[in-house]
Amino acid sequence: MDLKQLNAFIAIADLKSFSAAAEITGLSQPSLSRQLKQLETDMDVILVDRYHRPLQLTEAGQFFYDKVSAVLTELNTITSMTQRLSAPSTALNIGFVPSVLYGHLPEIIASLKQQSPDIEVNLKDISSYQQVEALKSGEIDIGFGRFAHQDAWIQQILLRHERYLVALPKAHPLAHTKEQRLIDLANNRLILYHQTHLPMSTTATTLKTRKNGTLDNEPVTEPLLHLFAQYGITPLMTTEVSDLQVALGLVAAGEGITLVPASLKTVRTEQISYQRLIHENVTSPIYLHTLKDFVHPKIPNLLTAIYHVYERRGITYRQQKFVSKL
Ligand code: BEZ
């Protein structure tokens, strides 16, 4: 068994067609089919049912595919990390979720550049979950996101918890009420904008829903609904939109209310009123993610720049230990 055969098998399994797999791998169809046949002979197992169109994996083939594709992904990660170890990129590639750009990211980058004037920084807007794959593939060296990850390759540092504010249209009866309570907001249309939901395993909060005549306890994975559900509240009406900017656009148009991290409080202030919530634990975390085994040499400087900005701005944070194997 060799890598060529495994890659041929994965391409055939992914594309369910010899001709499409030949095109993607750059092999001829007879050569691709020979690789698969040799793999099956070596293993003494039929992996692909060739009599179905589109092609299907046998039960054993499906098992082998699930396990082997995970191993090949790991192998790609290891290869890319080894290449980076031998020749680290001079540029620092930073992935971030859009909401942190409204906060201190620009000031942090400015502080980093002041410390290290020669540094080249590339910024890439990328969702929290996609940051994990982007770190592994080398597309980014560091990611700032708002969700915790459980991944054997990734180390994360919790930078701080940022409070949520309620965003209300300026003409809303509660627009000037300081210190709002979630229960008082429940009758409004809540605009939801998160594309990434909480993993089921971290959401102990459940809501009763009726399915086929029976009551079910369903985990609440949408982040804003999860905040309400923690207080036993279900908003009366919701609207889902594609991102934070659209959500704030709808609030500005008087279509509903939403909750946003405090750093968004300068957006559309002519039409939107931002008010604090009394609940201290209604917060959104900011995490820094890197690979465990390969830390870009400039990342410790970046962490120093972050803490420097926090101190200058009087932001409460807990300094975290950073494991750098370099
Ligand atoms: C912050 O607002 O705390 C923050 C934003 C971007 C990167 C790191 C921290």
Q: Which residues contact 42 (CB under 8 A, 6 or more apart)?
A: 1, 5
| Helix 59-86, helix 128-137: angle, nearest 10 | 70
**Residue 266: what are its φ and ψ, rounded to 5°?**
-100, 0
Last residue of a domain, one of 51, 83, 115: 83
CATH number of the domain that residue 57 is part of: 1.10.10.10
- The answer to whether residue 318 is domain-embedded is no
Whether the Cβ atoms of residue 42 and residue 1 lie closer than 8 Å to each other: yes
Specify whether the CB–CB gap between 247 and 108 falls below 8 A.
Answer: no
The per-residue pLDDT for range 60-90, each reduced to its tens digit, is 999 999 999 999 988 988 888 888 888 877 8
* Residue in 92, 125, 144 to alter for ligand 1 test, most ligand atoms within 8 A of Cβ: 144
CB count, 10 Å around CB of 8? 25
**Which residue's C-alpha comes closest to atom 7 of ligand 1?**
105
- How far is the centre of ligand 1, averaged over its atoms, from the C-alpha of 109 (Å)? 10
User: Is 207 part of any domain?
Assistant: yes
245-218-184-236 Cα dihedral, nearest 10 degrees: 70
Domain count, the chain: 3
* Structural domain harbouring 206: 162-283
pLDDT digits (tens, 9 = 90+) for 172-182: 999 999 999 99
Q: 78 and 224 share a domain? A: no
Residue-wise pLDDT tens digits, 103-125:
899 999 999 999 999 999 999 99
Same domain, 119 and 261: no
Rounded to an integer, the average pLDDT of 245-249 is: 96
What confidence tier does 208 reach under pLDDT thresholds 50, 70, 90? low
